[in-house]
Amino acid sequence: MNTASPRLPFLDGLRVAAFALLIPYHVGMYYVTWDWHVKSPAASSALEPFMQLSSPWRLGLLFLIAGAACQGLFARRGTLGTLKDRSLRLLLPLVFGMAVIVTPQAYFEVLTKAPQLLPGDGGYLDFWAAYLRGGKYCRGNDCMDVPTWNHLWFLPYLWLYAVLGALVAGGLRWLARPVVRLNAPIWVWLLLPAVPLALLRVFVMPHHPGTNNFTHDFYNHLQYGWLFALGWASRTPVAEGFWAAALRLRWVALAMALAGWAGLVAFNAAYADIAAPGSVLTAARLSRGAQTWWCIVAACGWAQRAFTRESPALRQAAGAVFCLYILHQSVIVLLTQALKPLALPWGLEAFVLIALTAALCALAYLVARRVPGLALLLGIQRRASGRMGQLTTMSVTASDTSPASAAASTASSERSSRTVEPGFQATSTSRHNGL
């Protein structure tokens, strides 16, 4: 069994930065034309190009980091230990989140879009009771099943990939398979992992678009599973060269990622009201898929430059992000409704939403971590920091090709879980679902 090496601070920093995008992104969802749980009266397309700076890659980055974390957990605790840890850390907060945390999102979604469907006198407690009993809220063919996991869909997906990873890795260990090392030119890390993502975008996504429905989400399972596997492999000899390559390729990857974003914005502007020719659409999909990987490489490379040493503050932030992830979207939805009567200018309102959401979630974390049962339900790891009980806390296997020495010396639903039928909030990350 591998032994854990000293932690690399950039991985904690990368995780914190990736999760930090969630609050402004989901606040942004209130103001853009894409469907979401609740919508601002001032919603427009003005912010959409900026939302598209992160929408292609932020969730994929989280799955890659999570894959690396799960491999480290497997190296320490084996197959059964990994299954036990991931089930406790992911499924328990999922169940609690669906029953308690997510409910306000569903309530205000129905209240603002189809209030006639609310049970009883239309109050929250009546809705909560009906929500827990289960059912379906429909406007024609537009349906929402409850209970739902909304933004917590990330947890069952991650649990599935962790289980599969542990079983496959455990089987390979039992078979004593020889270690295969990938000694490839540095440019391979920029291009080869992008190929499956680009091909999936062209050949799978149009026929099986993302739904965040656990049993009917072929495209998302393939792309996120691929990124999780890459993260897992990056902690093994197979792909341990990725981190050093990302550090060296950070400028090139950033330039390619920004070029991909500019192309995406240009495509959306040119074909906002007309259908794109087939060849143009295929090229745009290929670029969109590859852009996902280039953004991830850039993020992994620049994180090694930005987070060069460990600190208590970074450890604390890394330990808090899972709890903040569970809470943040419901807090945003509640705050949008609380601030609506003030009729603030949308720019000021958005700033207030971001600041208040961050502050309230941080306060909730500081309180919950002192309550053992509540801490467990909100995914707060109360063991000594440095262990891998959190969602993606990790150390990296030492090797000659690991970026540990270089990093020390030179310096990721958004959608609801729905039925196959479209839901109340059929959220998309692009104005053009076909892309």
- pLDDT tens-digit profile of 329-355? 999 999 999 999 999 999 999 999 999
Taking only the tens place, the pLDDT of each residue in 176-223 is 766 677 777 899 999 999 999 999 999 999 999 999 899 999 999 999
The residue with tokens 């601002």 is 40
**Residue 146 DSSP SS3:** strand
What is the band of 240 on the pLDDT scale with cuts at 50, 70, 90? confident
What is the band of 424 on the pLDDT scale with cuts at 50, 70, 90? low
84, 71 Cβ separation under 8 angstroms: no
What is the band of 382 on the pLDDT scale with cuts at 50, 70, 90? low
Q: What percentage of the chain has pLDDT greater than the value 90?
A: 74
Least confidently predicted of 126-135, 313-322, 404-413: 404-413
Inform me whether the pLDDT recorded for 139 exceeds 90: no
Taking only the tens place, the pLDDT of each residue in 8-36 is 678 889 999 988 899 999 999 999 999 99
| Tokens coding 264 | 């995406």
Q: What percentage of the chain has pLDDT greater than the value 70?
A: 85
Inform me whether the pLDDT recorded for 147 exceeds 80: yes
150, 332 Cβ separation under 8 angstroms: no
The residue with tokens 């707060």 is 380
> Which spans in 87-153 are helix H?
92-96, 103-113, 124-133
| Tokens coding 82 | 């990994």
Inform me whether the pLDDT recorded for 3 exceeds 70: no
Looking at residue 404, its pLDDT comes to: 34
HEC profile of the chain: CCCCCCCCHHHHHHHHHHHHCHHHHHHHHCCCCCCCCCCCCCCCCCCHHHHCCCCCCHHHHHHHHHHHHHHHHHHHHHHHHHHHHHHHHHHHHHHHHHHHHCHHHHHHHHHHHCHHHCCCCCCHHHHHHHHHHCEEEEECCEEEEECCCHHHHHHHHHHHHHHHHHHHHHHHHHHCCCCCCCCCCCCHHHHCCHHHHHHHHHHCCCCCCCCCCCCCCHHHHHHHHHHHHHHHHCCCCCCCCHHHHHHHCHHHHHHHHHHHHHHHHHHHHHCCCCCCCHHHHHHHHHHHHHHHHHHHHHHHHHHHHHCCCCCHHHHHHHHHHHHHHHHHHHHHHHHHHHHHHHCCCHHHHHHHHHHHHHHHHHHHHHHHCCCHHHHHHCCCCCCCECECCCCCCCCCCCCCCCCHHHHHHHCCCCCCCCCCCCCCCCCCCCCCCCC
Looking at residue 8, its pLDDT comes to: 62
Inform me whether the pLDDT recorded for 432 exceeds 50: no
- Which of 172, 166, 63, 38 lies closest to 391 in space, CA to CA? 63
Inform me whether the pLDDT recorded for 6 exceeds 60: no
Looking at residue 172, its pLDDT comes to: 85
Looking at residue 313, its pLDDT comes to: 87
